[in-house]
Amino acid sequence: MKFDAIHMRELNMPLAHPFETSFGVTTGRRVLLVEIEADGFSAWGECVAGEHPYFSDEMIDTAWIITETELIPRLLKADIGSGRDCPAIFEQVRGHRMAKAALENAVWELHSLERGIPLSKLLGGTREKISCGVSIGIQSSPEKLMEVIAKELAAGYQRIKLKCKPGWDENIFAMVRERWPNILLSCDANSCYRLEDADRIAKWDRFNLLMVEQPMWYDDFYFHAALQKRMKTAICLDECIRNRRDARAALELGSGKILNIKVGRVGGFTEAIAIHDIAKEKGVPVWCGGMLETGIGRTHNIALSSLPNFSLPGDVSASARYWAEDIIEPAVTVSDKGEIIVPTTPGRGFEVVRERIEHNTVRSKTIRR
Ligand code: OSB
Ligand code: MG
């Protein structure tokens, strides 16, 4: 199949609440969306690259350039059978996985619409509903954090993940564990610790955390393996897993015991599924991470989370935690049991609201075949 046109746009959307991690505070998102038009269908993809190259080496501005000048021209020239054809079409371009994922995921969505089946089914999903946790940013005070946790638990979320950094870690875990001894609790360092912190982290077993996410460098396997040997608590890898080879290498080295799969970080659904399968074969649980997505990326995450080895609660949560008004209808909601129902209608299963997308658009570009 040949595509008629691909539209790019940048949306500027304020977050309902600022989100603070060890690498900085995000108050609003600049989101690159792509829309593919073909055979009377329209399908969307969201690029999760940040405003700055702080989580990974991509950012929205680099993603925009690569999408416009390298990826879309290749895609418009190609004859595409399915989303699985995309990695080969993009292969000559090294890296830029978040940019590639936006387009590849739109191709998968398009294919699911054409076939009249839910995106989740096309990906190999088997779950009718997915288990949800929340990722809670660093707060202005411990008291404020306790309030936020209480609210999320009352809403039904099954797992609380605390963003942490030196000075906002052990003291916080102790306080939270004292009030909630039995909840599923984890932390995410976003690569902020170094070798001199290893002795301290190795003693975090006392907090009974489900996992410690990406404590060391964003590109490291070796020192994560050394740290994992010193602790019972699972290390979960996020930033350092770029592809299926990384997943295999990291698991064989013992760098972690759980994987966070983010479809943008690994370059699209094809690679995300491959990583899921490798983890499954090795008996390693995975869960779906989030990147403060709008409804388009969020619903793609729901579809991915329906695969069988997504056996731990993920970071995919309700639209309202991020946006005053999401760009899809209905917004993503979570039941009081902390679950999202996987749509059973064709495609992503949620309608895009074009007026809202237009309203938030600050630049756009159409490239035709
Ligand atoms: O490391 O998982 C992360 C947000 C932005 C960048 C990196 C991360 C996160 C989150 C939030 O943890 C997940 C979400 O709620 O979308
Ligand atoms: Mg993370």
Q: How long a stretch of residues is the chain?
A: 369
Nearest ligand to the CA of 24 is 1
Residue 329 bridge partners (DSSP): 351
Whether residues 70 and 185 fall in one domain: no
Distance 40 CA to ligand 2 centre (A): 38
Predicted confidence at residue 129, as pLDDT, reads: 98
Per-residue pLDDT reduced to its tens digit, 284-311: 999 999 999 999 999 999 999 999 999 9
What is the number of the ligand 1 atom nearest to the C-alpha of 26? 5
Whether residues 161 and 310 fall in one domain: yes
Distance 262 CA to ligand 1 centre (A): 10
Whether residues 33 and 72 fall in one domain: yes
Predicted confidence at residue 34, as pLDDT, reads: 98
| Annotated catalytic residue within 163, 165, 203, 280 | 163
Residue of the CA atom closest to atom 14 of ligand 1: 290
Predicted confidence at residue 14, as pLDDT, reads: 98
Whether residues 106 and 153 fall in one domain: no
Residue of the CA atom closest to atom 5 of ligand 1: 291
pTM: 0.97
Q: Which of 49, 60, 69, 114 is nearest to 263 (CA)?
A: 49
| Side-by-side strand order, sheet with 5-21 | 41-47, 24-38, 5-21, 361-368
Distance 161 CA to ligand 2 centre (A): 10
Predicted confidence at residue 226, as pLDDT, reads: 98
Indicate if 262 belongs to the active site.
Answer: yes
pLDDT range class, residue 163, cuts 50, 70, 90? very high
**Rounded mean pLDDT, 101-124:** 98
| Annotated catalytic residue within 203, 262, 282, 337 | 262
What is the number of the ligand 1 atom nearest to the C-alpha of 292? 16
Residue of the CA atom closest to atom 4 of ligand 1: 291
**Rounded mean pLDDT, 305-334:** 98
Whether residues 135 and 283 fall in one domain: yes
R_g over Cα of the chain? 20
Per-residue pLDDT reduced to its tens digit, 255-272: 999 999 999 999 999 999
Whether residues 331 and 355 fall in one domain: no
Helix, strand, or coil here: 19? strand
What is the number of the ligand 1 atom nearest to the C-alpha of 239? 1
The phi and psi torsions of 139 (rounded to 5 degrees) equal: -105, 170
Distance 38 CA to ligand 1 centre (A): 32
Residue with tokens 């592809």: 243
Whether residues 329 and 362 fall in one domain: no
pLDDT range class, residue 32, cuts 50, 70, 90? very high
Q: Which residues line ligand 1 (CB under 6 A)?
A: 55, 135, 188, 190, 238, 289-292, 315, 317
Predicted confidence at residue 88, as pLDDT, reads: 98
Whether residues 298 and 357 fall in one domain: no
Q: Which domain holds residue 56?
A: 5-116+350-368
User: If you average pLDDT over every residue of the chain, what do you get?
Assistant: 98
Tell me how many degrees the CA angle 186-190-194 measures, rounded to the nearest 5. 105
Whether residues 146 and 203 fall in one domain: yes
Whether residues 144 and 187 fall in one domain: yes
Question: How far is residue 134's CA from residue 364's CA, in Å, rounded to a whole number?
Answer: 32
Question: How far is residue 194's CA from residue 231's CA, in Å, rounded to a whole number?
Answer: 16
Whether residues 109 and 58 fall in one domain: yes
Predicted confidence at residue 262, as pLDDT, reads: 98
Nearest ligand to the CA of 211 is 2
Indicate if 144 belongs to the active site.
Answer: no
Task: Kindly provide the ipTM of the predicted complex, given to two decimals.
Answer: 0.98
Per-residue pLDDT reduced to its tens digit, 2-26: 999 999 999 999 999 999 999 999 9
**Rounded mean pLDDT, 213-224:** 98
Which CATH number is 12's domain given? Answer: 3.30.390.10
Predicted confidence at residue 47, as pLDDT, reads: 98
Distance 196 CA to ligand 2 centre (A): 21
Whether residues 56 and 173 fall in one domain: no
Which of 135, 237, 326, 340 gets mutated to test ligand 1 (max ligand atoms within 8 A of its CB)? 135
Directed axis angle between helix 142-155 and helix 170-179, to 10°? 50
Q: How many folded domains does the chain comprise?
A: 2
- What is the percent of the chain with per-residue pLDDT over 70, rounded to a whole number? 100
Which CATH number is 134's domain given? Answer: 3.20.20.120
Predicted confidence at residue 51, as pLDDT, reads: 98
pLDDT range class, residue 205, cuts 50, 70, 90? very high
